[in-house]
Structure 1
Amino acid sequence: MKATPSLQDAINAVYSAFSDVRRPVTMDASPVKNRALIDKILMPMSLKKLTGDDLGYYFASAMTTIGDSRDFRYFLPRILDIATQEAGENGFQPWLIVHKLIYANWDLWPAEKRAAILDVFSSAFMSAAHRDPHEVPEAHEWLTGLMLLEENPEPYLAVWRRGDPMPSLLQFAATVNWYCPSPGDREGIGDFSEAIQHRILDWLNNPATRALLEEGSSRASEADEWNFQLALSKLDGLQAEDR
């Protein structure tokens, strides 16, 4: 995903916020790990030159069987940077980054570091929210990360409006389809706190959500209409269950 100016500013800010973390010279690792792949990312070089292929092996096992939380803090800006470009590739899913942050006790980190991380997630969501989901990662991937970090989803869910261009409406439909639980199964939102779950359900049950899906369905191409029809069908099932 090509960074918008605001997303690029957020990425630059997270590099700056973590610039005081020194590059690790070595990292402890399980003996079953590939030492050559670990040592490769420890070579003296600019952090920004590390690629997703370079960091993917480390990231998958960061802090569990490779390195500690301080090592993770050093690599985190580049991990976030790469994730905004290739979310899902090499394992850099936003939700998995969040689980790593929680494992690293990120809530105890300095406020400026936490704010810089949240700004990347927020800016990445906004960057994707109005772009064709066929061409960029779906916005809900970043929104899921924000909600797992206990951020209020309401300002993000309110970014879509009547009259938005079709790429925006397709992102909206994808978000409804992702979070709207199937009848009898609310597992899709079960990872969030109870307060977050209530906000998602309020949004799904809001008449404005249905109205925007209906508008999208009426304007969509034949190839894309199914996205809106599926979302409307899922809303029907949710509302019938709640009666």
Structure 2
Amino acid sequence: MRSEIENVYRVFARYPRPARVEGCRHCVTENDHRDLLGAPLRELDAERLRRFSHKALNTWGDVDDLRHFLPRLLELALRGEGDLHGLFAKLHQGGWTGWPEDERDALRTCLSVWWEDGLTGTERPDAPLDTLAETGDDLAPYLDSWWGRDTPQALWALADLVSEVAHTMPRARDDRVVTWLATTRGWLENAFFEMSEAGQTELAEALSESRQLLDLVTLDEPVPREPEISPEPGADEPPGPGSASSEATGPEATGPPGPAETTG
């Protein structure tokens, strides 16, 4: 993500380093000021920026101050050295979707690369959609790029999302996400069988549980047309007994059998 971060530095260089970042004198000490302004932007570490990142836009600094420090805050957070969830919330609070186009584009490019890494990386994603939603940006492009992926990371993220939504009070659920989840029934079912055959037992069990939870989450949702994906070899062959498509034909379907039902 080096080039994307460098572009953020370039675009936001129009916001010069402030001589002093104004803040609540009861909340911000002189030591805080010295820490924040005591080194060039690219040399500030997470500890120096920690208090500003939490207090920005509330009791310390305005939107332009946030924009000046944003490239370094984003760089550290994307490296796991800062609070990415909190930073995305600050972006939302600062109204970044109304900022100049080149600023929005630079940030969205970083978000897209971070999102892609979460779906294709080597580790199980840590609630990436939940974190991304903090930005207040349109989630549709990210959901569209997610649909149908069969990497373990993408499937773990899907299973985690279904579980998270299922354990959220209905009135607190994001309708956009629930509507999208209603399109994932077949994807979950196919993924369950693929992961079972690949020996990914833990993931297959999670997908099986998610498929059953999905009916509760999307109980009142119509069955939407699922996004088209390229057919796999043999996809035109009629489903055999016990296949996902022969056992799950509508909103009343219960999804793939659980592990106990597949033994023996």
Unaligned runs of 5+ in 1: 1-6, 190-196
* CA shift in 2, pair 1:91/1:168, >3 Å: closer
From 79, 86, 95, give the equivalent of 1:85: 79
How far does residue 125 in structure 1 lie from its aligned partner after superposition? 0.4
Q: Which amino acid aligns with 2:138?
A: E
CA contact (8 A) 1:28 1:67 kept: yes
Is 1:149 paired with 2:137? yes
Residue 41 (structure 1) aligns with: 36
Identity %: 20
Residue 245 (structure 2) aligns with: none
Q: Matched residue of 1:41: which SS?
A: helix
CA contact (8 A) 1:11 1:120 kept: yes
Q: State the distance in 2 between where 1:12 and 1:220 align.
A: 41
Q: State the distance in 2 between where 1:172 and 1:22 align.
A: 41
* CA shift in 2, pair 1:184/1:143, >3 Å: closer
CA contact (8 A) 1:52 1:90 kept: yes
Larger helix share, 1 or 2? 1
Q: State the distance in 1 between where 2:13 and 2:168 align.
A: 48
Residue 130 (structure 1) aligns with: 120
Alignment of 1:37-186 (within 5 A): 37-45=32-40, 47-86=41-80, 90-93=82-85, 96-134=86-124, 137-145=126-134, 148-153=136-141, 154-158=143-147, 160-161=148-149, 164-178=150-164, 180-182=165-167, 185-186=170-171
Is 1:227 paired with 2:206? yes
CA contact (8 A) 2:27 2:59 kept: no
Residue 231 (structure 2) aligns with: none
Q: Provide TM-score, normalisation by structure 2.
A: 0.71
Q: State the distance in 1 between where 2:214 and 2:27 align.
A: 48
Q: Which has the higher contact order (CA 8 A, sep 6+)?
A: 1
CA contact (8 A) 2:88 2:132 kept: no
Write out the 4+ residue segments of structure 1 that deviate beyond 6 Å after TM superposition.
none
CA contact (8 A) 1:205 1:235 kept: yes
* CA shift in 2, pair 1:152/1:239, >3 Å: closer
CA contact (8 A) 1:139 1:175 kept: no
From 206, 209, 216, give the equivalent of 2:187: 209
How far does residue 71 in structure 1 lie from its aligned partner after superposition? 0.7
How far does residue 35 in structure 1 lie from its aligned partner after superposition? 2.8
Q: Aligned pairs, how many?
A: 218
How far does residue 123 in structure 1 lie from its aligned partner after superposition? 1.2
How far does residue 98 in structure 1 lie from its aligned partner after superposition? 3.4
* CA shift in 2, pair 1:132/1:168, >3 Å: farther
Q: Matched residue of 1:74: which SS?
A: helix
Q: Matched residue of 1:26: which SS?
A: coil
How far does residue 226 in structure 1 lie from its aligned partner after superposition? 4.2
Task: Select the structure of larger CA radius of gyration.
Answer: 2
RMSD value over aligned CA atoms? 2.7
Q: Provide TM-score, normalisation by structure 1.
A: 0.76
* CA shift in 2, pair 1:39/1:214, >3 Å: same
Q: Which amino acid aligns with 1:92?
A: L
Is 1:236 paired with 2:231? no
How far does residue 62 in structure 1 lie from its aligned partner after superposition? 0.2
From 21, 32, 35, give the equivalent of 1:27: 21
Unaligned runs of 5+ in 2: 222-250, 252-264
